[in-house]
Structure 1
Amino acid sequence: MKDTINLPHDDASCGWYAALPGRPPCSRLEGEQRADYAVIGAGFAGLAAARRLAEHHPKARILLVDAQRVGYGASGRNSGFVIDLPHKFALEHPEPAHKQRLLALNRAAIAQLEGLIQRHDINCQWSHAGKYQGAVGPRGLAYLDHFEKLMSDLGESFKRVERDELSRVVGSDHYSGAIFTPGCYLMQPAALVTGLGRSLPSNVELLEESPIHRLERDGQGGWILHGLQGLIRTPQLLLGTSIFTREFGYLRNRLLPVMTFASWTRPLSDSEMQAYGGQLDWGLTPADHAGTTVRMTQDRRLIIRNTYKHVPKYGQSSNDAMRASVRRDHRKAFLARFPQLADVPFSHTWGGVYAISRNFTNFFGELAQGVYASACDNGVGAAWGTISGTLLADLVVGADSAQLQDIQAVTGMPALNPPEPFLGLGVRSRIRLAAWNSRSEL
């Protein structure tokens, strides 16, 4: 086990987080604390795990600890899609039952989130808007044809949308066509995650800005979590730490840290909305997975997301010069789609780190005695984090269910990575090759 932890180091320019209203001061880890359960990481997985533990054991003391403010990390930095369909790579799995399990799990997560949003009146632009998968040129259209076949094989509803109909929605004739799938929801991720944090059960204590630097066995089968100003003693530890799981000594050499970037505009004015000519509240992902994701929010902001980088040092691998370069690339993609909005500036450009594995396999289960984790969402974090965190708590307390059996059936061990420097060279080469091959779709 590592003696020191490389901590999250996210940039301070996330638009989603900046758009939130002012937040009250947070509670931090101080002194020696004892808990029946401790959860590290207050993203989608950690929040869901802590909530479910509290539901099972309302008299237990549960500590949920995060190195940053809730909503500041990866869960608050995504593009705001909650997708019901399996990931593009999972859609190609040879076993239909595998895909149906993933679909059912994702839809259970959506239903769970919707119930919490309604119950706790979380204002997060939640919308059953569906999703477009868009193609620019022949390469993208070939991917669309393949996606259409996969959807037909899965037995899921979809609609092929041609250029003219699509342009009336997205305010751009840049796309040749798209496939619309109705099961996706859209949201403001930082607002959703902070709302989930505010509405935790009373026996969950949320400790923010409280990085855990070291884990230690207590000699009695439990754990000691060491922070800067305090420590936590607990018999049961749950990790909702995604890529940072490897910093605690687990899944080492099995997770790949990848950063993706987004830029958004300020809200469009009335005249700019007229020039734009499209609708509010839609999301489009690229048919070619290395292409560009685009969203129009309910509050009139256009978002461009593309550019992937291997970041072995997490946020420390990113700097102002890198973001400036990314912003220029985003500007090119923006102007290609919305030349009528050439005078509309970007107000924020930000990055977010997530974990992928070489075999696109998610880890779920027990890592060591008293240590459990859901790790490696492979870029589909909102739904997967929610359901995997919930079911991880079920696993810890011994509450069996058909859903728990399903998630155990579709998860496994992420593949080992080759050693450095070969790993970094290989990942960077693959990212560059994908960007080159997909340049017509960017």
Structure 2
Amino acid sequence: MIALPNDDRSCGWYDVLTTAAPSKKMSGEQNADFVVIGAGFAGLAAARRLAERQPNARIVLVDAQRIAEGASGRNSGFVIDLPHKFALEHPDPAHKQKLLSLNRSAISQLQQLVDDYQIDCQWSAVGKYQGAVGARGQAHLDHFEALMKDLGEPFRVVEQTELAKVLGTNYYSRAIFTPGTYLMQPAALVRGLGNNLPENVDVFEQTPIRKIQQQGQKWLLHADDGTLKTPKVLLATSIFTREFGYLKNRLLPVMTFASWTRPLSDAELERYQGELNWGLTPADHAGTTLRMTADRRILIRNTYKHVPKYAASVNDQTRQWVQGEHYKALRARYPDFADIPLTHTWGGVYAISRNFTNFFGQLENGVYASACDNGVGAAWGTVSGGLLADLAIQADSQALQDIQYVTGMPSLNPPEPFLGLGVKFRIGLAKWQSRSEL
């Protein structure tokens, strides 16, 4: 029995999009040269690359939801070039440089697609701030500065007075600005990518795959109203990869939550006195992510939860509690906006591993996967999806060798109930330790 994504219908990014065209669902007995499961950043990139490299092949891209309803359309709208904070501490300099090169390749690919298809998604090269509130955050920021110097990447220290002119609040004591991050509206970008795939890609939405079984040299995929037969399956399913029997005890499903306001009025914008269209991530990774969007919305993201049943682990009561936490963070930063409502609160599920290792490669004959983005999905999904397609058709490249160099096998998790108890304790401890940065 496959546990499926369970959309909470509360994602602000998706809710403000125009109504999508009716979905096309799969039915009957069908054949394809390649099937890609999952239409997020990784699946879209894989399907595009396969179609471009194999123009006479039939590629099927299938998703249990509508495109942009899943995790790729639910992030905070950052496409980050720098390796994740934990990856920056990797002892191998080549590892870090290869990650940086891969991430920048993804940004370049997305930039080209946004330009080519004129995707209206607030795409902007504005960099990002990494901000500290108190002494704990400042210590993390000092460590980040040392890592940046070691990496040889450009950055700029922004002190409180200058920072307040950008953020419209003096809540943060200091930040480090790095120029390579792009901001975007994730649901708009994902839908735009899905609407502009090559002609030899057939897209089936709202078509959950319930079962995969081997049939001779091919794989038979069972949906509700039909079957798909193919020699090669690419799993771009992140945490849901384990539902098909792969990496079952190696991936941890974690949900992080965001809320945003309605757009600020002209009068509120004048009171705000900051800039539009910026993003700030916390120096302390368990702190609060903050954004002012190009369309005048304040977005708050914090609060993490272990979700063994994915979105089904979260109910309305939990979401209301999370929204209350976000109200506290909003009012602490912008006390003059205490009366502005948070119109949407949503969560997104992603996969992490205990050894902070991404999986990329062949699982068995004809089955390939990119799984476990460890919370940096937009760039990683884009580059890993395209390279997974190259791996499936044996198209070697330096980039393919690089991604194989920096990936590996996520470590095994302890059995339940120890896993759940341990994750809950670690999340609770991180929140308590980072309370001054929330």
What is the TM-score with the length of structure 1 in the denominator? 0.99
Question: How far off its partner does 1:10 sit?
Answer: 2.3
Question: How far off its partner does 1:341 sit?
Answer: 1.0
- Deviation track 1:40-90 (CA, whole Å, cap 9, x = no partner) reads 000000000000000110110000000000000000000000000000100
In the alignment, residue 265 of structure 2 is paired with which amino acid? S
- Deviation track 1:319-369 (CA, whole Å, cap 9, x = no partner) reads 110000000000000000011111111110000000000000000000011
Contact 1:217 1:224 in 2 (8 A): yes
Q: Secondary structure at the match of 1:106?
A: helix
> In the alignment, which of 243, 257, 279 is matched to residue 247 of structure 1?
243
Task: Determine the structure 2 residue equivalent to 1:373.
Answer: 369
**5+ unaligned residues in a row in structure 2: which ranges?**
none
Task: Determine the structure 1 residue equivalent to 2:152.
Answer: 155
After TM superposition, where is structure 1 displaced by more than 6 Å over at least 4 residues in a row?
A: none
Task: Determine the structure 1 residue equivalent to 2:436.
Answer: 440
> Aligned partners of 1:129 and 1:319: how far apart in 2?
36
In the alignment, residue 345 of structure 2 is paired with which amino acid? T
> Aligned partners of 1:368 and 1:10: how far apart in 2?
30
> Aligned partners of 2:298 and 2:336: how far apart in 1?
13
The correspondence of residues 275-354 of structure 1 with structure 2, limited to 5 A, is 275-354=271-350
Q: Secondary structure at the match of 1:288?
A: coil
In the alignment, residue 306 of structure 2 is paired with which amino acid? H
Q: Secondary structure at the match of 2:85?
A: coil
The correspondence of residues 412-423 of structure 1 with structure 2, limited to 5 A, is 412-423=408-419
Task: Determine the structure 1 residue equivalent to 2:79.
Answer: 82
Task: Determine the structure 2 residue equivalent to 1:269.
Answer: 265
Q: Secondary structure at the match of 2:257?
A: strand
- Deviation track 1:301-322 (CA, whole Å, cap 9, x = no partner) reads 0000000000000000011100
- Deviation track 1:193-221 (CA, whole Å, cap 9, x = no partner) reads 00000000000011000000000111x22
> Aligned partners of 2:29 and 2:165: how far apart in 1?
59
Question: How far off its partner does 1:171 sit?
Answer: 0.5
2:118 counterpart of 1:121:
yes
2:213 counterpart of 1:216:
yes
Contact 1:255 1:376 in 2 (8 A): yes
> Aligned partners of 2:327 and 2:146: how far apart in 1?
33
Task: Determine the structure 1 residue equivalent to 2:357.
Answer: 361
2:48 counterpart of 1:51:
yes
Q: Secondary structure at the match of 1:194?
A: helix
Q: Secondary structure at the match of 2:401?
A: helix
Task: Determine the structure 1 residue equivalent to 2:381.
Answer: 385
> In the alignment, which of 201, 209, 224 is matched to residue 198 of structure 2?
201
2:169 counterpart of 1:168:
no
| Aligned CA-pair RMSD | 0.4
> In the alignment, which of 184, 189, 209 is matched to residue 192 of structure 1?
189
**5+ unaligned residues in a row in structure 1: which ranges?**
none
Task: Determine the structure 1 residue equivalent to 2:231.
Answer: 235
> Aligned partners of 1:349 and 1:96: how far apart in 2?
39
Contact 1:68 1:208 in 2 (8 A): yes
> Aligned partners of 2:102 and 2:426: how far apart in 1?
30
Q: Secondary structure at the match of 1:27?
A: coil
In the alignment, residue 432 of structure 1 is paired with which amino acid? G
Task: Determine the structure 2 residue equivalent to 1:400.
Answer: 396
Contact 1:44 1:75 in 2 (8 A): yes
> Aligned partners of 2:6 and 2:364: how far apart in 1?
27
Question: How far off its partner does 1:151 sit?
Answer: 0.1
Question: How far off its partner does 1:412 sit?
Answer: 0.2
> Aligned partners of 1:277 and 1:59: how far apart in 2?
55
What is the TM-score with the length of structure 2 in the denominator? 1.00
Determine what percentage of the aligned residue pairs are the same residue.
Answer: 69
2:46 counterpart of 1:41:
no
Contact 1:45 1:386 in 2 (8 A): yes
> Aligned partners of 2:318 and 2:277: how far apart in 1?
29
In the alignment, residue 213 of structure 1 is paired with which amino acid? R
Q: Secondary structure at the match of 1:367?
A: strand
In the alignment, residue 168 of structure 2 is paired with which amino acid? G
Question: How far off its partner does 1:101 sit?
Answer: 0.2
2:78 counterpart of 1:91:
no
- Deviation track 1:80-106 (CA, whole Å, cap 9, x = no partner) reads 000000001000000111000000000
> Aligned partners of 1:14 and 1:333: how far apart in 2?
19
> Aligned partners of 1:263 and 1:234: how far apart in 2?
41
> Aligned partners of 2:24 and 2:226: how far apart in 1?
12
> Aligned partners of 1:96 and 1:339: how far apart in 2?
44
In the alignment, residue 150 of structure 1 is paired with which amino acid? L
Task: Determine the structure 1 residue equivalent to 2:11.
Answer: 14
2:101 counterpart of 1:104:
yes
The correspondence of residues 19-30 of structure 1 with structure 2, limited to 5 A, is 19-30=16-27
> In the alignment, which of 132, 157, 178 is matched to residue 181 of structure 1?
178
> Aligned partners of 1:10 and 1:362: how far apart in 2?
25
> Aligned partners of 1:267 and 1:33: how far apart in 2?
46
> Aligned partners of 1:272 and 1:32: how far apart in 2?
56
